[in-house]
Amino acid sequence: MDTVLDALIIGGGPAGATTGLLLAQAGWSVGIVEKKNFPRRKVCGEFMSATNLSLLQQLGVADFYLSSSGPEIQRVGLFAADTVLATKMPILNYSSKKWGRALGREHLDTALLKSAAQLGARVWQPGLVENIQRHAGLFICTVNMSGKVEDVCARLVIMANGSWEGGSIQSKEHTHKPSDLLAFKAHFRNCDLASDLMPLIAFPGGYGGLVHSDSGRVSLSYCIRRDVLQRIRHQYAGMQAGEASLNYIKSQCLGVRNVLTSSQREGGWLACGPIRPGIRQRYKDGIFFVGNIAGEAHPIVAEGISMAMQSAWLLSQILIRRQKNAITEKSHLAAGKEYSKQWHKHFAMRIYAAALFSQIAMRPWSQATMLLLVKRFPGILAFGAKLSGKIQQVVILEMTNSNNKDN
């Protein structure tokens, strides 16, 4: 424990690795603790908006992303009941790359964490932070890496370990509720889905999405209420939850049925949950929070990865501007307040919009009303995509604002 890190980041996913990479670029000494070995698949929609490209360029992984990800998504669609609709995706006019793409987390997370390590970040993987104590302005963190335990000292601690990770400072014990949303994901090949289309799937008791990802795969991810899933499991006795729920979705959505008629699943089903969408604290007791643990939108808007990485960018810029060697209790609090304010400014509307969209999609009566409106005004889908942040350029906006302050 002779060396004092400028920042210890708990969680090596997109939020944690992005934070570590940006701080390391600025000359900070950084540690990242990730409890899982990479590469590993995650329950995640995989899509990233074009708004993230400028950040990927800053991180040095844009070329990898563009060469490895799936095709550009130029249309957004809706599969609900017998309705199959599509309209143009909103365009990011001030970028050479106007549309987003999808990339599997097993590839994205590995690339980001590897880049952070190459810039000097120390990585504990697989590792677990078992205890955090604060003493004399420093954090003493007990890190267990495959049975080897050591104390790591850091000026800052940043939590980036997901909203449902066990042992999280912000996690709470929740009793199971019928309305809990459980998440599932699988990859398929030989799907009858247009390569430029990303449809929203809406069905009674849940919602999801389909998108062409890397290596010719199509990613299907969805959330379904616990009570609906339990009913389905009884209906399809002996069938695993993923297959049973997919059969249910096919019975409810003509579009999904058509897309997957001749498809083959690649790999096993992934599942997690219940998910906990909402806005949480971004700073508490000297600790900063980025990614889903700070705030999480319903996956219906496909903005989870973008929000995680962009929130990491916001925090990193605020910390770098305040300088690593001038970190005091007062500056800690000031940085926490500024970060919380900027986070809310850029992400709160996405979370509110996602909550509204999810309730409309899951309830039969509101879904029926939605279908009537969307059939008459397909542009509503594009408007919803705008509300969800598909063309909200967080990084450039904040860079411009910072430059104006300096001049």
Q: Which residues pair with 102 in a beta bridge?
A: 47
38, 109 contact by CB (below 8 A): yes
Q: pLDDT tens-digit profile of 344-358?
A: 999 999 999 999 999
Q: What is the mean pLDDT of the chain?
A: 90
Tell me the one-letter amino acid at 137.
G
Cis peptide before 274 (omega within 30 of 0): yes
326, 208 contact by CB (below 8 A): no
Superfamily name and number for 4-171+277-406: FAD/NAD(P)-binding domain (3.50.50.60)
- The domain segmentation of the chain, as residue ranges, is 4-171+277-406
Tokens of 78: 């809706």
Chain-centroid distance of CA 346 in Å reads 15
Tokens of 297: 């939108």
Local structure of 231: helix, strand or coil: helix
162, 12 contact by CB (below 8 A): no
What is the pTM assigned to this prediction?
0.91
Q: pLDDT tens-digit profile of 225-263?
A: 999 999 999 999 999 999 999 999 999 999 999 999 999
Q: pLDDT tens-digit profile of 132-158?
A: 999 888 999 999 998 999 999 999 999
